[in-house]
Structure 1
């Protein structure tokens, strides 16, 4: 594929040079049009379009971190299909703005913003209590919210921020909402992970990076935790009508990378055209939300709208079981 991309770029450069020498492209706009067309061709080689006509009338979904990026794109698509969608967000003002944007674009959309801070166990409990008080069913729990490569900080309850938000917060939220998910079966839990899990290791000796903190290592640990949580959750819910899937959305141009600094920041901006849009990043989340359960594998890892193989560390059942036990201990819950 990279050879094909290189050849296409080379041909574009040669074509521009040929046309410029012969005076065919005196207009800057024509040069820009040729370049943009070529870039679109290259982009289409590795970002494939996906669609589905499945409707979701009568279904209820919760999407965490839905005020922006993949979460917002997911919520919008689900609402367009007729689902009731709850945008669970830390910043309620931004969440209300997202609700306004969605209802403005989709006539009759049933969307609502609710406060949820995944870095605060009390907030998670209050959110879950609110859901039980207002919702009779829950068919989709999409654990999308996350932080990446942030400076060292801790959650309200003392967990390292990336592990706390990306893994423990969603682990606790899923635990609290599981009875409603079982009551609403068939239902699904979708955990947004990343291919970066391949570089991760669960450091049980220093889970919260108190001895040494490296933002990328902490991030990859949290994304591996998403994979292992999904794997073990699928076993715990087998036969209960609740299935679980882990998703790699791809390299997406979102606010998630706001903490990434130069030179990576420069590269990110330079090649942003080749990154997925939030709508494209939502494709695999939606694929796992809408595809018939008989065509999916609970506990599986999905990328580009297809099942994919995790790295070896993502298939370690011993580590998955130990992480489950440690997570329960940290949260003070019993989940057998």
Structure 2
């Protein structure tokens, strides 16, 4: 039996993230839905799991505006030694005003670029041969 493929999808609980998660679930991946709002994500997870017949969807909270949150999330994945075949950096924001994060970064830059970059760098050691990293930005 071949090893299950793991996918990590940020922003999996809305918009394009939900559609991407649906397609990846149908393709048979085990999926970690990396989402800012775990309560909202859990509702989406339940729906997609029933719809696709894939029971291997789980929600783990991440706040891409916080580098500490990104590191904490990545460390959880690293501790599990998952073999990642797909990292979909989908989550994003477009702020209407100037907001800084606790790390001192402008929020849009943090969520759309800094957080996904740090997450990717931390997870590279778990990427299997031929793994895909997909970055989307708003």
In structure 1, the partner of 2:80 is 134
In structure 2, the partner of 1:188 is 132
Answer whether contact 1:82 1:109 (CA < 8 A) is retained: no
In structure 2, the partner of 1:88 is 34
- Structure 2 gaps, min length 5: none
- Structure 1 gaps, min length 5: 1-56, 195-336
Could you tell me how far apart the structure 2 residues matched to 1:62 and 1:128 are?
A: 11
State the shift of 1:134 in Å.
2.2
Could you tell me how far apart the structure 1 residues matched to 2:18 and 2:54 are?
A: 17
**Higher helix proportion, which one?**
1
In structure 1, the partner of 2:53 is 107
Could you tell me how far apart the structure 1 residues matched to 2:131 and 2:34 are?
A: 18
1:161-198 per-position Cα deviation (integer Å, ceiling 9, x unaligned): 111110011111111111111xx11111100135xxxx
Q: How is 1:134-173 mapped onto 2 (pairs within 5 angstroms)?
A: 134-173=80-119
Could you tell me how far apart the structure 2 residues matched to 1:58 and 1:88 are?
A: 19
Could you tell me how far apart the structure 2 residues matched to 1:145 and 1:108 are?
A: 22
SS of residue matched to 1:139:
strand
Could you tell me how far apart the structure 1 residues matched to 2:49 and 2:133 are?
A: 25
In structure 2, the partner of 1:73 is 19
Could you tell me how far apart the structure 2 residues matched to 1:74 and 1:135 are?
A: 24
State the shift of 1:105 in Å.
0.9
SS of residue matched to 1:123:
helix
Q: TM-score, normalised by structure 2?
A: 0.92
**Higher strand proportion, which one?**
2
SS of residue matched to 2:129:
coil
State the shift of 1:58 in Å.
2.1
**Rg comparison, structure with higher value:** 1
Could you tell me how far apart the structure 1 residues matched to 2:29 and 2:35 are?
A: 18
Could you tell me how far apart the structure 1 residues matched to 2:28 and 2:104 are?
A: 39
Could you tell me how far apart the structure 2 residues matched to 1:60 and 1:116 are?
A: 17
Q: Provide runs of 4+ in structure 1 moved above 3 Å.
A: none
**CA RMSD, aligned part only?**
1.4
SS of residue matched to 2:118:
helix
1:274-301 per-position Cα deviation (integer Å, ceiling 9, x unaligned): xxxxxxxxxxxxxxxxxxxxxxxxxxxx
In structure 2, the partner of 1:237 is none
Higher relative contact order, chain-length normalized (CA < 8 Å, sep 6+): 2
**Aligned residues between the structures:** 136
Answer whether contact 2:13 2:41 (CA < 8 A) is retained: yes
Q: TM-score, normalised by structure 1?
A: 0.39
